[in-house]
Amino acid sequence: MKTKNYRKAVQSLLSQFSKDEKAPITHSIFTKAHAADIAEIISHVSEDRQLKVFDALDVKQRGDVFVELPEDLQSEFIEETDDQRLLALFKELEPDEAADFLSLLDEDRQQELLSELPQRLQRKFRTLLLYGEESAGGIMTSILLTVHAGDTVNMAIEQIREYKSDEIIINVYIVDQNFKLIGSVPLQNLIIADGKAKIEDIMELSPIAVNVNDDQEIVGQTVRKYNLLSVPVIDDAGKLLGRITMDDVIDVVHEEADEDVYRMAGVDSDEIHVDSGFAIARMRLPWLSICLGGSMVSAFVLQNFESILSKSMVLIAFLPAICAMGGNSGLQTSTVTIRNLTYEAVFHSNRKKLARRELLSGVIIGITCGFLVCCISLLWLGNIIYGLIIGSSMLLTIFFSTCTGFFIPIFFSKLKIDPAIASGPLITTLNDAMSAFIYLAMASLQLKYFGLL
C-alpha cells in the first residue's frame, strides 16, 4: 500500500464530493480511509454537509477523525452535538486528546461530561485541565505505568501486560519511592534484556525531560534537538507526571515555523481554517492599516521636501527604488534575526556573532548596490551629482534598514512580545519613511552643496 495510492484515493473522494454536492454519504466510503484523510475531506466539503459526513462515520472512527479536524470545526461540531453522543465521542479519545476536547467545552458541559466518568479518570482530567492547553502539561499523557530501579525486567514486562493501553509506549520510565524520575529504558531493550536482569542495570540515568509548565514550543524544540521519540514530563521537584510522544508535538514543531512565516507577512495563521473572503479581509486589514498609517508618515516627509522635488523631478523616478531596496534588505535581516530568536530557548545562538555578521553584510550590500545604482543613474541621467545623491542614499538606506531589521526584533523579544508579529509591519513602515527621508535629505544637502538649490 503506497501513500501515492492513499493520496489518489483522497483526491478522488474530494473531487467526487466537490463535484456532486448531493453525493450519497455512506460510511462504507470511509471504512478503508485513514482518519486524517476523512478529517481532511470533511474540512473540504461544503459547510452544510460537514456534520452530515461526520455523523455518517461509525462511532469507533469518530474519535480518531475528530482529533484530526481543525479546531474551529471541532468546536462547531461540539455545539451541534447532544450530550449523549458527545460522551460517546469523548470515550473514544486518548487522555491527552480528551483533555483538549474538554477545554473546548464551556464550564457546565465540562462538569456534566466529567461527572459521567469514573472517579479516577475525573481526577486525572481535572488535573490535566489545570495546565494551559499550550503547555507540556496540556499535551502530555499522564503516566499510570512506572517501574522501580529494583524491579526485574520480567516484572516490568508483566506490568506493561497488565497496563494494557493503546497509548503507544516507547520508553518505560523508572522512578524512586517519591515518584521522582531517575531513569528510562526503551521498550525494545526490555525485550532484548535477560528477564531476570535488574532494571537499574539496563536503564539510562537522568533522561532528558521537560517541565510540565514548559510551553509546547519548548517541548517541540527539545524533542527535535535531542531526537526524542518520547519525552517524560516532570514538575519542579522532578516528580514524573506524564510523557509526550513525538507525534503529539510534530505539528507544534511545524506550525511554530509556519506561524512565523504568516506573522512576518502580516497574516493570521488561523487563516488556513477560514474560507470566507470577508473574514480574511477582516483579519488582514488591521495590519494593512498600520502600514497605511506608516506610509502616511512617508507622505508627510515627501510633502515637506516638495520644493526640492519640484526643482529636480528626475529624483522622483528613483524614489521607489530607494524605498524598495531599503524594505527588502531590512526584510532579509529581520527574517534571519526573528528565526534565530525563536529557537534561542533551546538552540542557543550567538548574538554577538549575529550582529557582526548582519551589520557587516549590510555595509557590503549597501556599498555594492549604492555603486550599482550610482552608475545606472549616471548613464541614465548623465549627471554625476544625481548619481552621487542616488548612490549615497541607497548606501545609507540599506545600512540603516539592516540595523532596524536586526535591532527591532531583538528589542521586541526583550519586551517579551513575539518579534515575528511585531517586527513585520513596524519594520516595513519604518524603513519606508526612513528611506524617503534619507533620500530627500541627501538630495537637499548635496544639491545645496553643489549650488544647485
Judged by CB under 8 A, the chain residues 310 through 369 that form the site for its own copies are 310, 313-314, 316-321, 323-325, 327-329, 331-332, 335-336, 339, 345-348, 350, 352-353, 356-361, 363-365, 368-369
Residue 267 within binding range of its own copies, rule CB under 8 A: yes
Residue 215 within binding range of its own copies, rule CB under 8 A: no
Q: Distance (Å, rounded) from C-alpha 209 to C-alpha 225?
A: 12
The minimum distance between CB 302 and its own copies, in angstroms, equals 4
The minimum distance between CB 84 and its own copies, in angstroms, equals 28
Residue 278 within binding range of its own copies, rule CB under 8 A: yes
C-alpha cell at 451: 549650488
Lay out the site mask for its own copies across 18-47 (x = CB under 8 A, - = otherwise).
x---------------x-x---x---x---
Q: Which is nearer to its own copies, 23 or 359 (CB)?
A: 359
Residue 214 within binding range of its own copies, rule CB under 8 A: yes
Pick one of 59, 88, 281, 417: the residue that binds its own copies (CB under 8 A): 281
Beta carbons of 363 and 394 less than 8 angstroms apart: no
Phi first, then psi, for residue 182 (nearest 5°) are -125, -20
Q: Distance (Å, rounded) from C-alpha 177 to C-alpha 357?
A: 52
The minimum distance between CB 451 and its own copies, in angstroms, equals 22
At how many degrees (to 10) do helices 107-115 and 95-103 cross?
Answer: 140
Beta carbons of 202 and 172 less than 8 angstroms apart: no
Residue 427 within binding range of its own copies, rule CB under 8 A: no
Pick one of 376, 378, 410, 452: the residue that binds its own copies (CB under 8 A): 376
Residue 306 within binding range of its own copies, rule CB under 8 A: yes
At how many degrees (to 10) do helices 47-56 and 59-68 cross?
Answer: 140
The minimum distance between CB 437 and its own copies, in angstroms, equals 11
Exposure string of 221-236, with b = 16+ CB inside 10 Å and e = fewer, is bbbbeeebebbbbbee
Beta carbons of 369 and 395 less than 8 angstroms apart: yes
The residue count for binding its own copies (CB under 8 A) is: 135
The minimum distance between CB 122 and its own copies, in angstroms, equals 26
Ranges within 391-420 binding its own copies (CB under 8 A): none
User: Among 51-59, 125-133, 234-242, 409-417, which window interacts with its own copies (CB under 8 A)?
Assistant: 234-242
Exposure string of 175-187, with b = 16+ CB inside 10 Å and e = fewer, is beeeeebbbbbbb
Q: Residue 147: helix, strand or coil by DSSP?
A: strand
Q: Which is nearer to its own copies, 128 or 434 (CB)?
A: 434
Beta carbons of 326 and 435 less than 8 angstroms apart: yes
Pick one of 142, 393, 413, 429: the residue that binds its own copies (CB under 8 A): 429
Beta carbons of 318 and 377 less than 8 angstroms apart: yes
Pick one of 260, 389, 413, 421: the residue that binds its own copies (CB under 8 A): 260
Pick one of 25, 51, 121, 280: the residue that binds its own copies (CB under 8 A): 280
User: Among 4-12, 69-77, 79-87, 120-128, which window interacts with its own copies (CB under 8 A)?
Assistant: 4-12
Residue 227 within binding range of its own copies, rule CB under 8 A: yes
User: Among 84-92, 98-106, 109-117, 284-292, which window interacts with its own copies (CB under 8 A)?
Assistant: 284-292
Q: Which is nearer to its own copies, 177 or 310 (CB)?
A: 310
Q: Distance (Å, rounded) from C-alpha 449 to C-alpha 308?
A: 13
Pick one of 69, 210, 408, 438: the residue that binds its own copies (CB under 8 A): 210
Angstrom distances, CA of residue 216 to CA of 137, 220, 235, 269: 9, 6, 15, 17
Q: Distance (Å, rounded) from C-alpha 420 to C-alpha 341?
A: 9
The residue among 147, 150, 153 whose CA lies nearest residue 196 is: 153
Q: Is 244 left (phi over 0), alpha (psi -120 to 50) or beta?
A: beta
Phi first, then psi, for residue 185 (nearest 5°) are -135, 130
Pick one of 105, 128, 174, 223: the residue that binds its own copies (CB under 8 A): 223
Q: Which is nearer to its own copies, 245 or 393 (CB)?
A: 245
User: Among 53-61, 104-112, 253-261, 407-415, which window interacts with its own copies (CB under 8 A)?
Assistant: 253-261
Beta carbons of 334 and 423 less than 8 angstroms apart: yes
Q: Is 362 left (phi over 0), alpha (psi -120 to 50) or beta?
A: alpha
Residue 423 within binding range of its own copies, rule CB under 8 A: no
Q: Which is nearer to its own copies, 104 or 187 (CB)?
A: 187
Residue 422 within binding range of its own copies, rule CB under 8 A: no
The minimum distance between CB 348 and its own copies, in angstroms, equals 6
Ranges within 148-207 binding its own copies (CB under 8 A): 157, 160-161, 164, 168-170, 181, 186-188, 190-192, 206-207
